[in-house]
Homo-oligomer: A and B are copies of this chain.
Amino acid sequence: MQLSDIRPDQEIVREGDRPSRCFALLEGFACTSKVTDEGKRQIVAFHVPGDMPDVQSLHLDVLDFTIGTLTPCTIGFIQHEVLRDLCARFPRITGALWRDTLISGAIFREWVMNVGQRQAYGRMAHLLCEWIVRMRAAGLAEEHACELPITQSELADATGITTVHVNRTLMELRRDRLIELKGSKLRALDWEGLKQAAGFDPTYLHFRNPAAAAA
């Protein structure tokens, strides 16, 4: 596995690439995004340490998305041949990776619903719920507080609302005492309230450990 350190706001792989390797995000945060013909960016996924965001390149030759860093990241590249060999020899690995891509798919579906059916307030709340739960699953949150290394402009690209309106929405969530935001530190002041505002049900994350889903 070839290690590499990458600065913030750098692209790791680009739409149109035909990679000959996958990578694992070992440290730092990244996101997958797509751009419309008119140049508007949609972030379709956030990535936390432990994720392998481009496993699909194993089976689909041309990338339909771009993955970029949000913070300084260290990533490990694995050649496709190596991974394919591992899969062939240990079917459990195939299963685990496949399962992983299926969960990503489930999250995309939830995002379609989030962006399609909820208005700004609930949409933002939902994004924050998912973030907190995933951060906790990655061991990067204490109770309902964690880092949120995402600018409001990036939150806008992820939720499909304007930067300005993201700000207003976050203010509203704070006014309602659902969250607290200090610098890049996020805390859910009222986790139950936040979940409710979001209509958040973590089933779609398909956690194996039910405890993680419960909280």
Which A positions have Cβ atoms within 8 angstroms of B? 16, 32, 34, 36-38, 40-42, 44-45, 56, 59-60, 62, 64-65, 88, 91, 94-95, 98-99, 101-106, 108-113, 115-118, 159-160, 199, 201, 203-204, 206
Kindly provide the distance from the CB of A173 to the nearest chain B CB, expressed in whole angstroms: 17
Given contacts A38-B199, A59-B98, 12 further A-B contacts (CB under 8 A): A16-B203, A36-B118, A42-B116, A44-B109, A44-B112, A45-B109, A64-B206, A101-B101, A101-B105, A105-B108, A108-B111, A117-B160
| Cα distance, A111 to B114, chains bound together (Å) | 12
A110 proximity list for chain B (CB < 8 A)? 34, 64
Kindly provide the distance from the CB of A32 to the nearest chain B CB, expressed in whole angstroms: 8
Identify the closest chain B residue to A201 (Cβ): B37
Kindly provide the distance from the CB of A120 to the nearest chain B CB, expressed in whole angstroms: 12
| Cα distance, A116 to B116, chains bound together (Å) | 7
A32 proximity list for chain B (CB < 8 A)? 109
Q: Looking at chain A's contact residues, is the secondary structure mostly helix, strand, loop, or mixed? A: helix
Identify the closest chain B residue to A105 (Cβ): B105
A116 B117 Cβ-Cβ under 8 A: no
A98 proximity list for chain B (CB < 8 A)? 59, 94, 98, 101
A42 B117 Cβ-Cβ under 8 A: yes
A117 proximity list for chain B (CB < 8 A)? 36, 40-42, 160
B99 A60 Cβ-Cβ under 8 A: yes
A105 proximity list for chain B (CB < 8 A)? 56, 101, 104-105, 108
A102 B64 Cβ-Cβ under 8 A: no
Kindly provide the distance from the CB of A50 to the nearest chain B CB, expressed in whole angstroms: 18
Kindly provide the distance from the CB of A163 to the nearest chain B CB, expressed in whole angstroms: 14
Q: Which of B62, B101, B115 lies in contact with A160, CB distance below 8 A?
A: B115
